[in-house]
């Protein structure tokens, strides 16, 4: 056993894929999740892939007593990967209190408890949203952060500041902030994947739900941007590749390899791909003609952003590996699996 890791939000999209990679790498995993945006079946998927079942605590990380009990019941936790957060950008505009309360309380509780229970390493899910609209692409970690365009984005910026201040105060912990670009796809086994609530807000679940007939057509939000084909450009990162970055981050902190007690890494492919290009990749990979129409711009969208992942490549020893075509195929296979299971 390499160590025991607490994964908050471990039955969610990124949490479940990261749990699989941790178990495959020989870690013991304790998940806490309140199942507000996921369900217990995810644990079965994790077990089918890895042959191991993580310890599962159903509970809310906003509650100190719940966390204290978790640490008492599961002694010897070495690291925490924190995925427990509300994450819908649009919803956050309408429910700012929920977002600030949830996302910040969870973080404060975990940081507060770490020294008490001797937990050394903390990996935080940050986001490329902290950069706002970049002045230059690809963007490096040294680029300035810009005022967030949503309460969700603000919670990520404030969380980064909180972690920075706690480390600067001399707390006996190390932290790595992973700034994700756009995580997409599913595990190649199609045992776990993304399960959005209601109408998907993100592009790839909307594409796969349209392809399978749940949605009539995809709306492409704008083709008049200052980009080669007029649609927005993003850095779409495969979910399994992204999950592996967390294992690397933990190994770096727990193995004593960190240069500083706080480090920041961009987790992206380094390739900018437009919305229209992504649709094309999906069509070619699956052979399905996707019905779509061009509509007006979506409020708050950034024109173009993609990562410079050099630091993650060289310092963390992590690199995106799965092709975009295979990633889109994995998203499609997961959508078909959901249909087979009668989920949607
Ligand atoms: C991508 C592109 C849309 C839906 C958000 C968060 C970010 C991150 C990932 C989250 C944009 C276009 C989308 C559709 C479309 N983290 N689009 N039709 O906005 O880049 O990033 O999700 O937890 O923090 O901000 O991702 O998938 O919503 O959009 O044309 O039906 O696809 O306009 O250009 P986004 P997205």
Give the residue, out of 102, 152, 221, with the most ligand 1 atoms within 8 A of its beta carbon, to mutate for a pocket test. Answer: 221
Cβ of 232 below 6 Å from ligand 1: yes
Report the nearest-CA residue for atom 9 of ligand 1: 182
Report the nearest-CA residue for atom 19 of ligand 1: 301
Placement of tokens 């025991």 in the chain: 4
Residue 65: what pLDDT? 98
Residue of 303, 294, 240 lying closest to 272 (CA atoms) = 303
| Rounded Cα–Cα distance for residues 319 and 110 (Å) | 29
Cβ of 203 below 6 Å from ligand 1: yes
* Distant-in-sequence, close-in-space partners of 1: CB < 8 Å, separation ≥ 6: 26, 27, 28
Residue 226 is encoded by which pair of tokens? Answer: 């200052």
232 CA to centre of ligand 1 in angstroms: 9
Give the residue, out of 207, 220, 298, 305, with the most ligand 1 atoms within 8 A of its beta carbon, to mutate for a pocket test. Answer: 298
* Distant-in-sequence, close-in-space partners of 72: CB < 8 Å, separation ≥ 6: none
Is the separation of the CB atoms in 99 and 155 below 8 Å? yes
Report the nearest-CA residue for atom 33 of ligand 1: 221
Report the nearest-CA residue for atom 27 of ligand 1: 202
Count of residues in the chain: 344
**What is the Cα 224 distance to its own chain's centre?**
29
Is the separation of the CB atoms in 222 and 298 below 8 Å? yes
Please state, in angstroms and as integers, the Cα–Cα distance from residue 198 to each residue in 54, 80, 102, 201, 231, following that order: 28, 30, 21, 9, 25
Residue 195: what pLDDT? 92
Q: Report CA Rg, the chain.
A: 19
Report the nearest-CA residue for atom 23 of ligand 1: 87
Cβ of 81 below 6 Å from ligand 1: no
Cβ of 129 below 6 Å from ligand 1: yes
Cβ of 234 below 6 Å from ligand 1: yes
* HEC readout, the chain: CCCEEEEECCCCHHHHHHHHHHHHCCCEEEEEECCCCCCCHHHHHHHHHHCCCCEEEECCCCCHHHHHHHHHHCCCEEEEEECCCCCCHHHHHHCHHHHHHHHHHHHHHHHHHHHHCCCCEEEEEEEHHHHCCCCCCCECCCCCCCCCCCHHHHHHHHHHHHHHHHHHCCCCCEEEEEEECEEECCCCCCCCCCCCCCCCCCHHHHHHHHHCCCCCCEEEECCCCCCCCCCCEECEEEHHHHHHHHHHHHHHHHCCCCCCCEEEEEECCCCCEEHHHHHHHHHHHHCCCCCEEEECCCCCCCCECCECCHHHHHHHCCCCCCCHHHHHHHHHHHHHHHHHCCCC
Give the residue, out of 185, 203, 233, 275, with the most ligand 1 atoms within 8 A of its beta carbon, to mutate for a pocket test. Answer: 203
What is the number of the ligand 1 atom nearest to the C-alpha of 305?
20
* Distant-in-sequence, close-in-space partners of 226: CB < 8 Å, separation ≥ 6: 303, 304
Cross-strand pairs, 77: 4
Residue numbers annotated as active site: 152
pLDDT 10s digit of each residue in the chain, 344 long? 789 999 999 999 999 999 999 999 999 999 999 999 999 999 999 999 999 999 999 999 999 999 999 999 999 999 999 999 999 988 999 999 999 999 999 999 999 999 999 999 999 999 999 999 999 999 999 999 999 989 999 999 999 999 999 999 999 999 999 999 999 999 999 999 999 888 999 999 999 999 999 999 999 999 999 999 999 999 999 999 999 999 999 999 999 998 899 999 999 999 999 999 999 999 999 999 999 999 999 988 999 999 999 999 999 999 999 999 999 999 999 999 999 999 88
């Amino acid at each position: 056993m390499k160590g025991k890791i607490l994964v908050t939000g471990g039955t969610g999209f990124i949490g479940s894929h990261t749990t699989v990679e941790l178990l495959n790498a020989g870690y013991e995993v304790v998940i806490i999740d309140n199942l507000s945006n996921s369900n217990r079946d995810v644990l079965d998927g994790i077990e089918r892939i890895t042959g191991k079942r993580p310890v599962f605590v159903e509970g809310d990380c906003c509650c100190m007593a719940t966390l204290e009990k978790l640490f008492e019941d599961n002694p010897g936790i070495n690291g925490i990967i924190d995925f427990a957060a509300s994450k819908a950008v649009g919803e956050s505009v309408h429910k700012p209190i929920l977002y600030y309360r949830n996302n910040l309380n969870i973080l404060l509780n975990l940081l507060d408890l770490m020294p008490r229970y001797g937990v050394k390493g903390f990996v935080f899910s940050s986001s490329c949203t902290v950069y706002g609209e970049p002045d230059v692409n690809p963007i490096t970690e040294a680029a300035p952060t810009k005022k967030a365009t949503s309460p969700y984005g603000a919670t990520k910026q404030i969380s980064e500041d909180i972690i920075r201040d706690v480390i600067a105060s001399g707390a006996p912990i190390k932290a790595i902030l992973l700034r994700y670009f756009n995580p997409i796809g599913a595990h190649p086994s199609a045992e776990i994947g993304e399960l959005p609530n209601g109408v998907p807000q993100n592009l790839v679940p909307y594409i796969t739900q349209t392809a399978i007939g749940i949605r009539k057509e995809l709306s492409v939000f704008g083709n008049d941007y200052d980009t080669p084909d007029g649609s927005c450009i993003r850095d779409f990162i495969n979910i399994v590749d992204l999950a592996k970055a967390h294992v690397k981050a933990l190994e770096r902190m727990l193995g004593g390899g960190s240069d500083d007690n706080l480090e920041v890494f961009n987790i992206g492919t380094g390739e900018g791909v437009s919305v229209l290009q992504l649709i094309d990749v999906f069509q070619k990979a699956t052979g399905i003609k996707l019905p779509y129409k061009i509509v007006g711009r979506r409020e708050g969208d950034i024109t173009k952003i993609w990562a410079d992942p050099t630091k993650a490549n060289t310092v963390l020893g992590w690199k995106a590996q799965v092709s975009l075509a295979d990633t889109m195929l994995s998203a499609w296979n997961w959508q078909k699996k959901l249909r087979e299971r009668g989920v949607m």
